[in-house]
Amino acid sequence: MKTLLTWLFIFVFGFIVGAGVGFKILEGVSTDLLLEAWDNSYAQFQQAYPGSTAQQQLDQKVEEQKWILLENIKNGLKDQLMSMFSFGGTKNVENK
């Protein structure tokens, strides 16, 4: 009887562990497949339906504002560097 219970315990324990490992493997595979399918379908959706006219106009306006902001930042940095390296530093030395 003790041997039968030991083998039954080994079988049940092995089945539970094997099922758990198998489930984790299938879960990882299915998750990867699901994510890949989502990425592919979303890319196909974006190609098939690029957006409404209003969305395209909004995207164009955002791009324009992005370039304007970039130019403003460049000009501000250029002015900052020019003021740092201008002759203002020597004037402060002469005034002291």
Q: Which pLDDT tens digit goes with each residue over 20-78? A: 777 777 666 677 777 777 777 767 776 777 677 777 888 889 899 999 999 999 999 99
Domain range annotation of the chain: 1-50, 51-96
Q: Could you tell me the two tokens for 64?
A: 């324009």
pTM of the complete model: 0.37
CA 11 to chain centre: 45
Residues 95, 89 contacting (CB under 8 angstroms):
no
